[in-house]
Amino acid sequence: MKKLFVTFLFVGAALIVVAPSVQAAPGGGRRSWPELVGSPESLDRQIAGADRAGFVRIRNDKILQRLQKARAVVPLQRSRFVVIDPRLAPKWRWCRPIANRFLQDIGRTFYSRFRSRLQVNSAGRTILYQRELKRRNPNATDPERAPHTTGATVDIAKLSMSERQRNWMRDYLMRLEAQGVIEATEEHSQTVFHVMVFGHYQNQSTPLVRRRPRR
């Protein structure tokens, strides 16, 4: 399980504890999703999962083109359940087939629950492109360890989601994490759910997510 990072802030004489992903729980009280907090251990699990699946890091355009020709990476699939952020350049609208399947599965289930589509903000990247991002943003993941360079990682936008929709996403992703078929992180600076899909996801069924009572 990922570590729960807690930040301590001193304001005047008061000590404030800030914990990530804490929301109101049904029936009152508070509920947290520590499993979706990023950590070095989470990154290690993503790298290990990619290695087990044989998802090589895609270093440059030449390797990308070879994988595309072999259909080892494919275009992101748009559907009535999943859309692509128009700001994402066409060159980077690709992923592993297993990531496409995950997106359609979660998109279909999300749409049946909320009649709203999921948006993909980011997918596959080459190591060379990740280096460009790192130069512009020092907080970006090291290019040699970035999960996006495997093609099996996608970022799902959460900015336009209601809190009820975000809670549903957290529950859904946590259930798949418990099955060991994905590794998910809720990012706040980028306002996305970052998801690495492991190679054996295709052997899993879509999890049932308990419906929350309407308020």
More confident residue, 8 or 76: 76
User: d(Cα 81, Cα 199) in Å, to the nearest integer?
Assistant: 22
Which long-range CB contacts under 8 A does 158-167 form with residues at least 24 apart? 158/186, 158/191, 158/192, 158/193, 159/191, 160/119, 163/23, 164/212, 164/215, 165/110, 165/114, 165/116, 166/23, 167/23, 167/212
What lies within 8 Å, CB to CB, of 121 at 6+ separation is 85, 87, 88, 155, 156, 157, 190, 192
131-144: burial string, b at 16+ Cβ within 10 Å, e else: bebeeeeeeebebe
Q: Which helix (H) or strand (E) holds 135?
A: helix 127-136
Distance from the first to the final alpha carbon of the chain: 31
pLDDT of residue 208: 55
What are the E-state strand segments in 129-191? 153-157, 182-187
pLDDT tens track for 83-98? 999 999 999 999 999 9
More confident residue, 139 or 166: 166
Any idea what DSSP says for residue 200? G
pLDDT of residue 189: 82
Question: Token pair 């289930």 is at which residue?
Answer: 109
pLDDT band at 68, cuts 50/70/90?
very high
pLDDT tens track for 104-139? 999 999 999 999 999 999 999 999 999 999 999 888
What lies within 8 Å, CB to CB, of 158 at 6+ separation is 165, 166, 169, 186, 191, 192, 193
pTM for this entry: 0.81
pLDDT of residue 10: 35
User: 35-203: what CATH class?
Assistant: alpha beta
* Domain locations in the chain as residue ranges: 35-203
pLDDT > 70: percent of the chain: 78
